Structure 1
Amino acid sequence: MRLELTWPNKDKFLLAPKDEAGKPVWVDPDHPAASEVRLSDFTDAVGEVSADNPHTDNLLFTGDSLDVLRILAEVPEYAREYRGKVKLVYIDPPFNTGQAFDHYDDWMEHSTWLSFMRDRLLLIKELLAADGSVWVHLDDAEQHRMRCLLDEVFGAQNFVASVAWEKDKGRRNDTAVSGSHDHIHIYAADRRRWGQSRNLLPRTKEQEDRYKNPDADARGPWLQGDNGTAKSASASSRWPIELPSGRVVVPPSGRGWAFGPETFARARAEGRVYFGRNGDGMPIIKKYLTEVQGGVVPRTWWSADEVGHNQEAKRDHLRRMFPDRPPFSTPKPERLLERVIQIGSNPGDIVLDCFGGSGTTAAVAHKMGRRWVTSEIAATTVGDYTRPRLELVVNGDEGGGITEAVGWAGGGGFRSVSVALSMYSATPFGVLLAGWATNGRFARAVAGQLGFDWEPDGAFCGTRGRMRLAVFDGVVGSEEVRQTVAALGDKERVTIVAKAVLPGADEALKQLSQGSKIRKAPRDLLSAGAKRARRRTEAAERAVQLLVAEAAVL
C-alpha cells in the first residue's frame, strides 16, 4: 500500500495558473500544450563561447520553465548534453505566499501550485545525473506539501535533508510569531551515490584553531580536548593508567576511558598520547589534522552570519549593481548559493536553475567554474536584471557577492536562447498550426517535437538513427512520396510530416518503403506528444513503486 498526496485536477494539465478572470485553466492531458516541445533559437552570445557546439555553452533562456525543461530533456541536440547529466538543480520557485511583488505575482491555489511544480519536477528528475541532487527553496506556505510531492517524484528514500536558512536577522513586531528562516529541501537522484560524491565544507578558522601542537610533535597539529574520558561508560572502561610522572589515574566517578586498553597501548607505543606539559595530566590520544577528512560535514542550520541574508543581497549587492531599478523583494545572497554549489557540485559540473530571477545561481556558478543553464519567463526581468548582471560577471566588472572570496576576475561567456510561442492554436474548429509555423521554422519545430536531430540534407531535415525526417509545408501525395523514398540511402526509412495528406499517399509509402510512415500535422504530432507525456508520468510512478517495494523487503 502506498501513501499519495492527492489534489483536485491532479489528472489534468495546468494550462495557465490564472486566466483573465484570475482562475486556473485546466485541460486534458492530450491537449497540445501538455506535451509540446517548443522551438528555441540562439539569439546572441556574450564573451567566450564554443565555435563547435553552442548547446554546451552556458545558457540563458527567456521562456517558461516548463518549456525550457522539455527542450533540455527532449530535443536531441540538448538532450545529449543535459539529460541525465545535470549535477545540481537549485530552484527558488514561487512560494505561493499570496503576495504581489514588483517582478511577479506570487499566488496560486494549492492544487494549482502542486500541479505547476509536479510537471516541472518530473522533467528535472530526467535531467539529473545519477549522483545529482535537487535543492528546492521555499518558505512555510507550501514547504510541507512540497515534501510530499518530492517524496512522490523522487522517492522518500532519496530525501537527504531540510536546511533551515536564517534569511532575516531582525524581528518583526507586527505578527504573532516573527519568521526568520526559509527551508531548502534536498533530494538526490540516488541518496547513496550522492552521499559518496557530495563535498564537505571547508573548516572555519575557529575549527582549525582547535588543532594545536603544544608538544612540537613532528606529525603536526592535533585536536585539543578536555581529557581522554567519556560519559556513560561501563565498569570495564575504568582501568588504571600509570602516567609518565609515576602517578596512577582512573577516570572520575561516572566516566570511563574513551578508548580500550589495546588502542591505548598502541597509541602510547607510537608516541600519540599526550600527558600534559609535565607528564602528569590525564591522557589524550592525539587526532592529527593531517589524518582527518578534508573538511566538515554540512549541518542543516545555516545562519545569516555564515551565508548571508535577504537584506545583504538586496541592499549591499543588487542595489549597487542596479541603483536606478527597484530590487527584487526577496533576493538570495551569493554566499547562500556558494554553499549549495560547493556541497552539490564540482568545477565543470552542470548547475541548473529554471526560475532564474535576477540570475544569482548562474552568477555564482560562473564564478565557481561550473557550467550553468538558467531560465526566466519574464523578458523584462531578463533585460533589466539577469542578462546585465551576467554580462558584468563575464567582463569582471561585478565586484559584489563572492567575487573577492573566490578571486573572480572575469572570463568565460554565455549564449542567450529564446523560446518560441506555441506551434499550435486552439480554435472553435479544433487545434490548428500557428501562423508562424511555416517553411524552415515549421520543420525545425517538428524535428524537436518528434525527437529528430536537426540535419537539413536535400529532401530531409532530420535524422534519428536510420530514420530520416521529411517535412512538407503543405500537401503530400503519391508523387512526393516517390521522390522522397528515392532519396533514401540503403536501409534507411523516412517519417514524412505534412499539413495535408492526399488519398493514396499512405498506401504508396507502405509499398515503397516498409517501416516508413506519414504523419499529418498537427493531429499526429499531438498524439505522439501525449504518448510521450503519459510515458513520463507512468515511468515516474513505476520507479517510486519499485523503490517502495524494495524498501519494504529490506
Structure 2
Amino acid sequence: MGRVSSGPCNTFAEGDNLEVLAGLPAASYDLVYIDPPYNTGSAFAYRDSFAGHQAWTDMMRPRLEAGRRVLADTGAIFVSIDDHEVAHLRLLLDEVYGEPNFLAQVVVNLNPKGRQLGSGFATSHEYVLVYAKDARQCVLDASSTDLVLEGDFPLVAEDGRRYRRLPLRNTNKKFNPLTAPTLHFAIWGDPETGEVRTSPFDGAGEIKPVFGDGSPAVWRWSRPRIDERPGDLVCRRVRGATGDRVDVFQRDWRHPTGGARRKKLRTIWLAEEVGSTDTAVAELKEILGHVFESPKPTGLVRRILDTMPDDARVLDYFAGSGTTGHAVALANAADGGRRTCLSINQPEPVRPGSNADLAGFRTVADVTRARLRAVAERVGGGYAEHSVVE
C-alpha cells in the first residue's frame, strides 16, 4: 500500500459504533477485525439484550453495512463468532458483502481442554468468518511465514542452504503434450553430477518428461527459465513402474531469493499457533490485571494482521478489552511495520461485582482505553483519542 503513517499507532473512540462509523470517511480502512457479542447471555461486555436470532441479526446488519462502507475495495473483514450465531452470521455476511466475496470459515481452537460445564460436547472451538470487500481486488495473502518449518526442507546444499526436491515435470495430468505443447521438450542431464541443461553436453543424456507410468508429461518450467536457473535444478536416477529412469527436480530453497518464504494458512488454527482464551487472560492480566473474562489472544489477531501489508489501516468497532490495538502495536514492534488501528467501544457499564468493577472500571470503554494506554507505554507506538463528532 506504500503509505507513510503519521501519528500514533493506536487511536480510541468511545461511543456507539454506528455513530462513530458514520463519521468515518468511506474506504478509509484496509482490514476490519471484530469480535461482536455472541448472544449467549454470558458475554462480559454485553448483556444478552439481543435475545433471539432475529433481534441479534437486526443489531448486526447495520453495523456490518457501516463497516463495509469504510472498508477499502482492496480490504477484508474478519469476524469472530461461536456456534450460536455462526449460521445466521454467514447468511448475513453473504447479504452484506456478497457470496462471491466469501474467503474462508476458519475454525479456531481457543479452548483446547473444551468447556467442561453443562451437558453435551466439550466445545473447544470458535470461528472466524473472512470476507473481501471485492475478491477481485483484495490484497489479502492467506499465507504466513510462521508455518514454514526447517523440517520441511531436509536437504542441505554445499553452501549450507536448506532445500527440498520438487519434480520439474507437472504432476497434474490435466497438463500434458496436448494441453501444454510448448512445455513438452527434451532437456539433457548427467545423473552422476546432477547437472541439467537445455542443450547437449559431455556425459549428458536426453530426458523427456513422463509420468510414473511412462505416459508423456510436460515440464513446469519453460526453456528460458531453465536456462536462467540451472543451479536450481538437479537430475537423478529414480525407479518407476517401467524400471529405472532419469528425472529432473527443482531445488526448492528454504530461503528463496527475493523475500521470506510463506506457507498457505489452513482453515483450522490451533491454540499452540495463535494462543487460547487462557493465554489471552494471562497476557491481559500481565498488562492491566484480571479484568476481562474471555478476551481474544493477540496471537490470533497477529495471524490476521499477517495476511495484509504491514502498513494496513486496521479497524475494530467491537473493541472489547483492546486486543486488536495491542496486537497491532506488537506486530509493528516485531517487524517495523506502520500499521495503525482505530478501536471503538461503547461506554457499556461493567457488570456489578465483576473483576473489572472490583478493579475500579466504570465501563468497558474504560478497560479498552486503559489497555491501549498501557500498551503505548510498554510496547510503544503511541496513543490518541479519536474525537467523535456529535
Give the match for residue 169 of structure 1.
112
Give the secondary structure class of the aligned counterpart of 2:136.
Answer: helix
Q: Which amino acid aligns with 2:163?
A: W
Q: 1:197 to 1:163 in 2, by over 3 A?
A: closer
d(CA) in 2 for partners of 1:392, 1:175: 40
Gaps of 5+ in 1: 1-48, 51-55, 73-78, 397-408, 420-443, 446-554
2:249 to 272, 285, 288: 285
2:75 pairs with one of 132, 139, 155: 132
Partner of 2:103: 160
Matched residue, 1:85: 28
Q: Distance in 2 between matches of 1:351 and 1:202?
A: 21
Counterpart for residue 410 of structure 1: 380
2:298 alignment counterpart: 334
Q: Are 1:230 and 1:256, in contact at CA under 8 Å, matched by a contact in 2?
A: no
Say if 2:69 is the partner of 1:123.
Answer: no
Per-residue Cα deviation, 1:368-413 (whole angstroms, up to 9, x for no partner):
24211111112634465212211111112xxxxxxxxxxxx42422
In the TM superposition, what whole-angstrom CA distance separates every residue of 1:120-155 from its partner, at most 9, and x where no partner exists?
Answer: 111111101111111111011111111111111111
Task: Tell me how far 1:321 sits from its aligned partner.
Answer: 2.9
Question: Deviation of residue 171 (structure 1)?
Answer: 3.4
The secondary structure found in structure 2 opposite 1:336 is: helix
How many angstroms does 1:228 deviate by?
6.9
> How many Å separate the matches in 2 of 1:231 and 1:148?
35
**Which of 129-138 and 372-381 deviates more?**
372-381
Cα pair 1:160 1:188 within 8 Å, conserved = yes
Query: What letter is aligned with 2:371?
Result: R
Q: Is the 8 A contact 1:362 1:373 kept in 2?
A: yes
Q: Using the TM superposition, give the Cα deviation of residue 273 of structure 1 relative to its aligned residue in structure 2, in angstroms.
A: 3.6
Q: Deviations over 1:146-194 (max 9, x none)?
A: 1111111111111111111111111345533332221111111111111
Deviation at 1:286, TM superposition (A): 1.6
Work out the CA distance in 2 between the residues paired with 1:260 and 1:85: 45
Contact 2:176 2:217 (C-alpha < 8 Å) held by counterparts: no
Query: Could you say which residue in structure 2 is the equivalent of 1:386?
Result: 368
Decide whether aligned partners of structure 1 residues 134 and 241 sit closer, same or farther in structure 2, where only a CA change above 3 A counts.
Answer: same
Q: Post-superposition shift, 1:312?
A: 1.1
TM-score, structure 1 normalization: 0.52
Tell me by how many angstroms 1:267 deviates.
4.5
SS at 2:77 equivalent: strand
Match of 1:319 among 276, 279, 285: 285
Moved more, 184-193 or 105-114: 105-114
Q: Whole-Å Cα distance in 1 between the matches of residues 62 and 154 of structure 2?
A: 53
How far off is 1:307 after superposition? Answer: 0.7
Picking from 348, 352, 374, the partner of 2:315 is 352
Asked if 1 retains the 8 angstrom alpha-carbon contact of 2:83 and 2:126, the reply is yes
1:372 aligns with 341
Q: Residues 60 and 210 of structure 1: is their aligned pair in 2 closer, same or farther, counting only changes over 3 Å?
A: same
- Corresponding position of 1:184: 128
SS state of the match for residue 306, structure 2? Answer: helix
Q: 1:67 maps to which residue?
A: 19
Instruction: Quote the RMSD (CA, aligned, Å).
Output: 3.9
- Which of 230, 236, 240 does residue 270 from structure 1 map onto? 230
Q: Is the 8 A contact 2:325 2:343 kept in 1?
A: yes
* SS, match of residue 343 in structure 1: coil
Partner of 1:103: 45
| Equivalent pair of 1:215/1:277 in contact (CA under 8 Å) | no
How much does 1:254 deviate?
Answer: 4.4
Greater RCO (Cα-Cα under 8 Å, separation 6 or more) = 2
Residues 384 and 321 (structure 1), Cα distance of their counterparts in 2 relative to 1, 3 Å cut:
farther
Give, in whole Å, the separation in 1 of the partners of 2:156 and 2:319.
51
Residues 305 and 312 (structure 1), Cα distance of their counterparts in 2 relative to 1, 3 Å cut: same
Asked if 1 retains the 8 angstrom alpha-carbon contact of 2:166 and 2:250, the reply is no
Name the amino acid aligned to 2:62. Answer: D
TM-score by length of 2: 0.72
From 216, 230, 234, the equivalent of 2:158 is 216
In structure 2, how many angstroms separate the alpha carbons of the residues matched to 1:327 and 1:61?
A: 19
Deviations 1:50-88, CA, capped at 9 Å, x for gaps: 6xxxxx88431222221221222xxxxxx3xxx211111
Cα offset for 1:217?
6.6
8 Å contact kept, 1:233–1:254: no
Correspondent of 1:305 among 265, 272, 293: 272
Q: Distance in 2 between matches of 1:58 and 1:272?
A: 45
Specify the alignment match of 2:195 in structure 1. none
Secondary structure of 2:27 counterpart:
coil
User: Equivalent residue of 1:121, what SS?
Assistant: helix
Decide whether the 8 Å contact of 1:334 with 1:360 is kept in 2. Answer: yes
Q: CA separation of 1:114/1:255 partners in 2, compared to 1, >3 Å: closer, same or farther?
A: farther
- Amino acid across the alignment from 1:96: N
Query: Are 1:201 and 1:295, in contact at CA under 8 Å, matched by a contact in 2?
Result: yes
Distance in 1 (alpha carbons) for counterparts of 2:57 and 2:286: 36
Partner of 1:193, secondary structure, is coil
CA contact (8 A) 1:86 1:352 kept: yes
Task: Write the distance in 2 (CA, Å) between the matches of 1:102 and 1:319.
Answer: 16
| Residues 424-503 of structure 1 aligned to structure 2 (within 5 Å) | 445=390
- Where does 1:506-525 land on structure 2 (aligned, <5 Å)? none
Q: Is the 8 A contact 2:176 2:216 kept in 1?
A: no
Partner SS, residue 346 of structure 1: coil
Cα contact 2:329–2:380 (8 A) shared by 1: no
Tell me, in whole angstroms, the C-alpha distance in 2 between the residues paired with 1:133 and 1:261: 32
Residue 122 of structure 1 aligns to a residue in which SS?
helix
Partner SS for 1:95: coil
- CA shift for structure 1 position 275: 4.0
Amino acid across the alignment from 1:224: R
Q: Secondary structure at the match of 1:286?
A: strand
Change (3 A) 1:161 1:111: same
Does the residue aligned with 1:185 lie in a helix, a strand or coil?
Answer: strand
Q: Which has the higher helix share?
A: 1
Cα pair 1:198 1:344 within 8 Å, conserved: yes
In 1, distance between residues paired with 2:252 and 2:83?
A: 43
Partner SS, residue 170 of structure 1: coil
Q: Do the aligned partners of residues 91 and 170 (structure 1) sit closer, same or farther apart at CA in structure 2, a change above 3 Å counting?
A: same
Deviations 1:170-225 (A, max 9, x none): 1345533332221111111111111x45474115451x44346645279x543235
Shift of the alpha carbon at 1:117?
0.6
**Which structure would you say has the larger Rg?**
1
* 1:295 alignment partner in structure 2: 262
